[in-house]
Amino acid sequence: MKSICLHGPESTGKSTVGPRLAHALGGRYLAEYGRDYAEAHGTDFSMADLVAIGQGHDAMLATAMAEGPWPVVTDTDPLMTAVWADMLFGKRDPWFGDWNRLSDVYLLFAPDLPWVEDGTRLFGTLDERRRFFELSRAELDRRGVPYALIEGQGESRYANCIAALEHFGIRAHLC
């Protein structure tokens, strides 16, 4: 197992759970590239910005996959950025369709946590969050990648991540 991707809409706990999972697995955590990009450039995204985000994350992922330690736990990947394109523009650049550095396993985070505004998030209404989640799930189904749904509040969310990974034969130490 070389990589695990945390996938799903904004404000669902990916950035909170990610470092902890990487530690429990003895692997490496790869932070969300899009957040850093949005903090540096703002959130008035163009399609070119989304391609730049996808390419930036892909470059980070390629380096992490080459260097280890494994597994690399990545807070989203270009599949998630493709979903952002769907949300913002109703279409995506062909670059996303060609991208194929897929993770071994995806954990799909449900929007069952309270929305937290942080200055980079855009889709906070219940309807937007549901749509974002369904598009996220549809992307995983379209690509045919193995994934597990992650739900729950507080410690149960983390425990559900551990249980999902164990279902895929990945052992972690609770921490």
pLDDT in tens, 157-175: 999 999 999 999 998 766 5
What distance in Å separates the CA atoms of residue 46 and residue 145, rounded to the nearest whole number?
28
> What is the C-alpha separation between 120 and 132, in angstroms, rounded?
15
State the Rg of the chain over Cα: 15
What's the whole-model pTM score? Answer: 0.92
CB-CB contact of 124 with 95 (8 Å): no
Distance (Å, rounded) from C-alpha 168 to C-alpha 21? 15
Please write the tens of the pLDDT for every residue from 5-61.
999 998 888 999 999 999 999 999 999 998 889 889 988 899 999 999 999 999 999
Neighbour tally for 84: CB within 10 Å: 26
- Among 20, 28, 23, 109, which Cα is nearest to 61's? 28
Q: Which domain holds residue 35?
A: 3-167
Does some domain include residue 108? yes
CB 55 within 8 A of CB 95: yes
Domains held by the chain: number: 1
pLDDT of residue 119: 62
What pLDDT sits at residue 11?
84
Give the pLDDT score at 118. 67
For 88-137, write each residue's pLDDT tens digit.
999 999 999 999 999 999 999 999 977 666 666 566 678 888 999 999 99
Tell whether 172 is covered by a domain: no
Q: Looking at residue 26, what DSSP letter applies?
A: T
Which residues, 6 or more positions from 4, have their beta carbon under 8 angstroms from its beta carbon?
Answer: 21, 25, 27, 71, 72, 73, 74, 103, 104, 105, 106, 107, 165, 170
In a domain, 54, yes or no: yes
**pLDDT confidence of residue 151:** 97
pLDDT per residue as tens digits for the range 62-90: 999 999 899 999 999 999 999 999 999 99
pLDDT on residue 35: 85
- Residue 121 has a pLDDT of 56
Q: Quick check: is 174 in a domain?
A: no
In a domain, residue 97? The reply is yes
20 in any annotated domain: yes
Higher pLDDT: 141 or 154? It is: 141
Give the domain CATH number at 82: 3.40.50.300
